[in-house]
Amino acid sequence: GNSVTQMEGPVTLSEEAFLTINCTYTATGYPSLFWYVQYPGEGLQLLLKATKADDKGSNKGFEATYRKETTSFHLEKGSVQVSDSAVYFCALSDPGGSYIPTFGRGTSLIVHP
């Protein structure tokens, strides 16, 4: 079946530090990959996505590249801000699974001034 594995948090960084949150996946087909972000007290919202191998999704300074050879979709940002503090969810959508997203457990990011 499909699954998504994320690094456990919390990830604690100082402002302007470099961020990497690891995500690997298992899928039976050729999935689309996503990062969702959940700010405190809110629901999840789509941050970025990539639909095929070697695609790079980007938004708000965050980037992730679809690596089929390593089945990974790591989230990166060159310089984090306090406002980036949130929970980040990696997800996949598999055509073989009616496109219903499968979510990872989420990784909490805490950015200190």
Partner 1 sequence: DAGVIQSPRHEVTEMGQEVTLRCKPISGHDYLFWYRQTMMRGLELLIYFNNNVPIDDSGMPEDRFSAKMPNASFSTLKIQPSEPRDSAVYFCASSRTSGATNEKLFFGSGTQLSVL
Give contact residues for partner 1 (rule: CB under 8 A): 32, 34, 36, 41-46, 49, 89, 93, 95, 98-101, 103-106
Q: Where are the alpha helices (DSSP H) in 1-113?
A: none
d(CA 95, CA 106): 23
Residue closer to partner 1 (CB basis): 38 or 85? 38
- Separation of alpha carbons 92 and 86, rounded Å: 20
Q: Which is nearer to partner 1, 80 or 87 (CB)?
A: 87
How many angstroms separate the first and last alpha carbons of the chain? Answer: 41
Comparison of 74 and 106: residue with beta carbon closer to partner 1:
106
In whole angstroms, the minimum distance from the beta carbon of 51 to partner 1 comes to: 8
The distance of closest approach from Cβ of residue 9 to partner 1 in the complex, given in angstroms and rounded to an integer, is 11
Write phi, then psi, for 42 (nearest 5 degrees).
-125, 170
